[in-house]
Chain A
Amino acid sequence: MLRATLKSLLARKVRLILSGLAVVLGVMFVAGSFVLTDTLSRSFDSIFSDVYSQTDVTVAGKPKVEVDELDGESLPANVPQSAITAVSALPGVAQARGVVAADGATMIGSNGKAVGSFGPPQLGENWLGENELTQLREGRGPTADDEIAINVGLATAGKVKVGDRVGVLTLDAKQRMFTIVGTFGYSGDRDSIGGVNEVAFTEPVAQQLMLGEPGVFSSIDVKAADGTSPDALKQQVASALGADYTVRTGKEAAAEDAEGLKSALAFFNNILLGFAGVALFVGIFLIINTFSIVVAQRTRELALLRAIGAGRRQVIGSVLTEAVIVGTIASVLGLGAGIGVGALLAYLAGQFSGGLALAGIGVPPVAIIASFVVGLVVTVIAAVMPALRASRIPPIAAMQDVATPDRPLTRITWIGGVVTALALALLGVGLYADGGLLLVAGGVLLTFIGVALLTPVLSRPVVGVLGRIFSWSVPGKLGRLNSGRNPRRTAITAAALMVGIALVTGVGVIVSSAKTSIAGAVESVDAQLIIQGSQTSARPPTFAPGVVDQAKAVPGVRDVVGVASDLATVNGQQQFVTSVTDPAPIPVIFGSTAVAGNISALGADQAIVNDDAAKEHNWSVGSVLTVQLTRGTEHRYTVSGIAPADKSIGEIMLPPAAMTEFTQPGLSLGFVQLDQGTPVASVQPQIEALVADNPLVSVIDQDTFTQQQSGMLDQVLVMIQILLALAILIAVLGIINTLALSVLERTRELGLLRAIGLGRAATMRMITVEAVVISVFGALLGVVVGTGLGAAVVRALRDEGFTDLTLPWSTIVLYLCVAALVGVVAAILPSIRAARLNVLGAIAHE
């Protein structure tokens, strides 16, 4: 029996390839994600073990604000000189050096543009001289306040050389000019460690520009005296300094720092796996269809097996064995392809992040296990239904041409209805009762399954209507009839396409609604110009609070407000806080009226909160907030006013003085309100002149601001479209597959049509119409389901600022056109095959 299965499988290699291809692609995605993240994470390991290779023990201040890993990095508190003196005096210490190294030193390259990326940090540091890791390549270290040395990687990226004068942006919002006096590289002839860029200042300059105060350091680098182990040294240092410091051995520090990046990587991996899941889900539809068709084609063979004594279980076993074999082969191929894709993506990620040195491509065991589990489980699950169907073939079919009785669609429709209702209930709870992302995802998944089950019933009327468009010719009519002839098959093929299209449409609806909502929100603000930095690295560019005062003095300007923001610990919880130059203009610019208290003035120990935050934390006028900012000591602020949530700046607004203790003391956003009737163009250049000392900060009008915000959303949309393209590609394979197998199945019929005079071109047209009808049907379903899902999400997020529901009509029409095109493309090979049929042979075909 097993041999019969194997031989029959081998005899139909094409079917094996077609049904396996979907699994190969899905598994490739899974394996690729794991290989990519494993490679990157080992690369991070090696970076950090390099960075800490010269360090026995490192000491840093405990961060004042603990930030969630996904929100950013916790900034350690500055270490005073006194701590270094104390550590130096310890018996096990050979040397203790204060290190200044903080993210946020952006060099302006020779083309006037900032050098940097969102990946590795841009460190600004004190020059500590050469060591085994850091080696000067050219020139010398900085000795004067306007001198810097930079790593070769940065010099290459910025196209600058020793002797050039360059601008550097730091905590000080203005660009400062420095002369490059030296370039350095790293052991092993590297220009950069993991794409990190370094700007080395003299110590006082580094302290002032990177840490914001003189005489302090980011960390202490401690070398152990001979005979003292790093662990023993760590104990000594920790007990000497007390609880305000984090003391780690170099090894621990390397591991922990790498771990921080890895958790972000794990998050990224989960996203990739999510898309892999979508692709595999679509793959299931394809496999179900392939196996169903194959079972239909093997009816006589399976009936024979039953007639000569095979039991139902043996028939089921035979089909499932085939699935296991297909699944295994597909997993192997998918794993292989995944390793390639993972390696390629890792290389691209390395290039994108500015030259991350990859630690060699690794295939973690989890990639192998996941590939096989996913490949096998998906294939076998998909084959269960066809296998059960195969077992229902009566043995008598070996003697007669009995069609396997198609069960009526009533039951499947009922099940589909129930599943869809359940899905909607899940979605409702997930979206409107804050049931969480898992419920929403489950709801979406069930929606797809439910709609897929309803598709056969829908297919009759919809395919009928769609088909009419093509029915003007005989081949068109035949194609339409063919596509309506096996509603289950048409339905599953279309449903596979539906999933991908529904997801892109859903995201499209959310994005377009978000864009309209943003535009609406921006328009409702009575500020004609906006001062804003274009972010090129992890830290947004800032401008000095003085700019606001200068802008106010410009003729035609009525009022200006500048905003700084940061994460802080408020009453023990991580919170987003803002600080404004002056709260008075805000009610005017935003058109807001106080919910309670006074929102147009703010004393030095007062805070304004919005009503969302007030409700959530039960705050009212007079409540006291205990706030720890990134720098400085704890403050207590009394709530003096409550602003409406939709017309306020952030949840918690602190007085101007607070911003000096933010991670970045500068302003990141400014709203400029002009006098009525003042042309924007006349004022814009004068304000631009005020921020000319920072090339990253610009002054833009409302439209440009809206476009910038929308631009980021468009990028997200494109990313999602690219990732979902795989799912759609698999659906296209499904259409090709269904058509190819249908052509095979109808060989005799095609021969007959050709014999009675249907030309080659007409035959091809007939197949193409069938394909287009199926794919447009799938896309139509997808667009409807996707719009529904997107609209549900948008409505549920109304309170989060999604004020408008906008349907991306042009994109929807585009998807439908693409679907029609996809149908044409999918029909190419099957129709050529059909047209090439030998008429005589086809008629004699069994």
Chain B
Amino acid sequence: MDAAGRTVLVRPDHDLFTRGNQVTASDPVAARADDVWKVYGSGEAEVIALRGVSVTFQRGVFTAIMGPSGSGKSTLMHCLAGLDSVTRGEVHIGETRVTGLGDSGLTKLRRDKVGFIFQQFNLLPTLSAKENILLPLSIAGRKPDDAWFDTVIKTVALQDRLGHRPAQLSGGQQQRVACARALVARPEVIFADEPTGNLDSKSGADVLGFLRDSVKTYGQTIVMVTHDPVAASYADRVIFLADGAVVDELSDPTPDMVLDRMKRLDNPAEVAR
């Protein structure tokens, strides 16, 4: 494992991209970052958050992005989702080139191709669960597909809670509403930002279960940022970031495997040994 880790660390990033591309050459790609740089500030205050990240997300795959604090995992997700602009490089979601889109293009992208799940749930407190779930569709002016809505509701087990306000729901239930909200529009990719960060382990396991099921059963693509190895173990693939660069990746991870990699990332001295 030491050897593998070191190899990954010294390998130039474009190699990783090439490798990813080769592996998934026949599969459709849901999202892709090509040599993405993100630099905040300038001069003395310059902070490089991403240094030439290239990564590809295949359709129907649940990917977790992990890394220590400040590794750039949130920044990468924001850039992928079009919430933040990249300094250099390109981002694509499906066929759409996100880099260089104007506000209306980005709005259309978020409306049609991207779904979000947030750590703080971010439900509108004044709307009922059902209204919250249907909000993206009503914003887009689209009619909900009743059968799909029922399926989603069943998947997240919220049949009895549709009329409730967020304040009347538990944290786990609120996050399930948020999941349903993301799923109901059938976006190209769902980006989840620490979705279990505010939940107890039981509720977190429920939510992660739903996410994995939606990938397995309905072919949904999910990209999740997390620092919880258990959460990451639900994913099909884990990408590790450190210091703004992709340093490793795992397929079909277990919590122990993830934890092990994380430990080494947290302690570079050990890696060097």
Q: Of A281-289, A390-398, A504-512, A828-836, which binds chain B?
A: A390-398
Chain A residue with Cβ nearest B128: A7
Taken together as a complex, chains A and B put the C-alpha atoms of A399 and B194 apart, in Å, by 10
> Which residues of A from 291 to 316 have beta carbons under 8 Å from B?
300-301, 304-312, 314
Taken together as a complex, chains A and B put the C-alpha atoms of A8 and B193 apart, in Å, by 25
Cβ of A312: which chain B residues have Cβ within 8 Å of it? 103-104, 107
B84 within 8 A of A: yes
CB <8 Å contact, B126 and A309: no
B140 within 8 A of A: yes
> Which residues of A from 357 to 408 have beta carbons under 8 Å from B?
394-396, 398-399
Max count, chain B CB within 10 A of own CB: residue among A1, A11, A307: A307
State whether A308 and B193 are in contact (beta carbons under 8 Å apart), knowing that A395-B110, A398-B122 are contacts in the complex: no
- B126 partner, pick from A1, A10, A304, A395, beta carbons under 8 A: A10
CB <8 Å contact, A309 and B127: no
Chain B residue with Cβ nearest A8: B126
Distance in angstroms from A507 CB to nearest chain B CB is 47
- B124 partner, pick from A8, A307, A394, beta carbons under 8 A: A8
State whether A307 and B110 are in contact (beta carbons under 8 Å apart), knowing that A8-B126, A396-B84, A398-B122 are contacts in the complex: yes
Chain A residue with Cβ nearest B132: A4
- B139 partner, pick from A10, A314, A395, A398, beta carbons under 8 A: A314
Taken together as a complex, chains A and B put the C-alpha atoms of A398 and B121 apart, in Å, by 10
CB <8 Å contact, A311 and B136: no
Taken together as a complex, chains A and B put the C-alpha atoms of A314 and B119 apart, in Å, by 25
Cβ of B119: which chain A residues have Cβ within 8 Å of it? 399
CB <8 Å contact, B122 and A309: no
CB <8 Å contact, B124 and A304: yes
CB <8 Å contact, B125 and A308: no
Distance in angstroms from A354 CB to nearest chain B CB is 57
Residue interface mask A1-37, B partner, CB < 8 A = 1 = 1011001101100000000000000000000000000
State whether A305 and B139 are in contact (beta carbons under 8 Å apart), knowing that A3-B127, A399-B118 are contacts in the complex: yes
- A309 partner, pick from B83, B103, B140, beta carbons under 8 A: B140
Distance in angstroms from A617 CB to nearest chain B CB is 67
Cβ of B185: which chain A residues have Cβ within 8 Å of it? 309
Cβ of B126: which chain A residues have Cβ within 8 Å of it? 4, 7-8, 10-11
Chain A residue with Cβ nearest B193: A399
Distance in angstroms from A318 CB to nearest chain B CB is 10
The SS class assigned to the A binding surface is helix
Q: What would be 17 A-B contacts, judged by CB atoms less than 8 Å apart?
A: A3-B138, A4-B124, A4-B126, A7-B124, A7-B126, A7-B131, A8-B124, A300-B122, A304-B122, A306-B107, A307-B122, A308-B116, A308-B135, A309-B139, A309-B185, A312-B107, A399-B119
B111 within 8 A of A: yes
Taken together as a complex, chains A and B put the C-alpha atoms of A235 and B218 apart, in Å, by 95
State whether A308 and B181 are in contact (beta carbons under 8 Å apart), knowing that A3-B138, A395-B83 are contacts in the complex: yes
Distance in angstroms from B70 CB to nearest chain A CB is 14
Taken together as a complex, chains A and B put the C-alpha atoms of A394 and B78 apart, in Å, by 12
B112 within 8 A of A: yes
CB <8 Å contact, B127 and A311: no
CB <8 Å contact, B124 and A311: no
Taken together as a complex, chains A and B put the C-alpha atoms of A310 and B108 apart, in Å, by 8
Taken together as a complex, chains A and B put the C-alpha atoms of A535 and B127 apart, in Å, by 68
Taken together as a complex, chains A and B put the C-alpha atoms of A301 and B132 apart, in Å, by 12
Cβ of A311: which chain B residues have Cβ within 8 Å of it? 103-104, 107, 111
CB <8 Å contact, A11 and B125: yes
Interface size range on A against B: 20 to 34
Max count, chain B CB within 10 A of own CB: residue among A304, A305, A308: A308
Distance in angstroms from B133 CB to nearest chain A CB is 11
State whether A4 and B127 are in contact (beta carbons under 8 Å apart), knowing that A308-B135, A310-B107 are contacts in the complex: yes
Taken together as a complex, chains A and B put the C-alpha atoms of A202 and B74 apart, in Å, by 103
Residue interface mask B20-38, A partner, CB < 8 A = 1 = 0000000000000000000
Taken together as a complex, chains A and B put the C-alpha atoms of A4 and B119 apart, in Å, by 22
CB <8 Å contact, B83 and A394: yes
State whether A309 and B111 are in contact (beta carbons under 8 Å apart), knowing that A4-B126, A11-B126 are contacts in the complex: yes
Cβ of B115: which chain A residues have Cβ within 8 Å of it? 308
Cβ of A304: which chain B residues have Cβ within 8 Å of it? 118, 122, 124
Cβ of A305: which chain B residues have Cβ within 8 Å of it? 135, 139
Cβ of B124: which chain A residues have Cβ within 8 Å of it? 4, 7-8, 301, 304
Cβ of A7: which chain B residues have Cβ within 8 Å of it? 124, 126-127, 131
Chain B residue with Cβ nearest A398: B122
Cβ of A10: which chain B residues have Cβ within 8 Å of it? 126
Distance in angstroms from A333 CB to nearest chain B CB is 23
> Which residues of A from 88 to 125 have beta carbons under 8 Å from B?
none
Taken together as a complex, chains A and B put the C-alpha atoms of A310 and B112 apart, in Å, by 11
Max count, chain A CB within 10 A of own CB: residue among B115, B116, B131, B193: B116
- A396 partner, pick from B83, B112, B122, beta carbons under 8 A: B83
Cβ of B139: which chain A residues have Cβ within 8 Å of it? 1, 305, 308-310, 314
Distance in angstroms from B270 CB to nearest chain A CB is 32
Residue interface mask A637-667, B partner, CB < 8 A = 1 = 0000000000000000000000000000000
Cβ of B135: which chain A residues have Cβ within 8 Å of it? 1, 4, 305, 308
> Which residues of B from 84 to 139 have beta carbons under 8 Å from A?
84, 103-104, 107, 110-112, 115-116, 118-119, 122, 124-127, 131, 135-136, 138-139
Taken together as a complex, chains A and B put the C-alpha atoms of A301 and B122 apart, in Å, by 8
Cβ of B122: which chain A residues have Cβ within 8 Å of it? 300, 304, 307, 398
Taken together as a complex, chains A and B put the C-alpha atoms of A311 and B110 apart, in Å, by 9
Besides the known contacts A10-B126, A309-B112, A311-B107, 17 further A-B residue pairs in the complex with CB atoms under 8 A apart = A3-B131, A4-B124, A7-B127, A7-B131, A11-B126, A305-B135, A306-B110, A308-B111, A308-B135, A309-B110, A309-B136, A310-B107, A310-B139, A396-B78, A398-B116, A398-B118, A399-B74
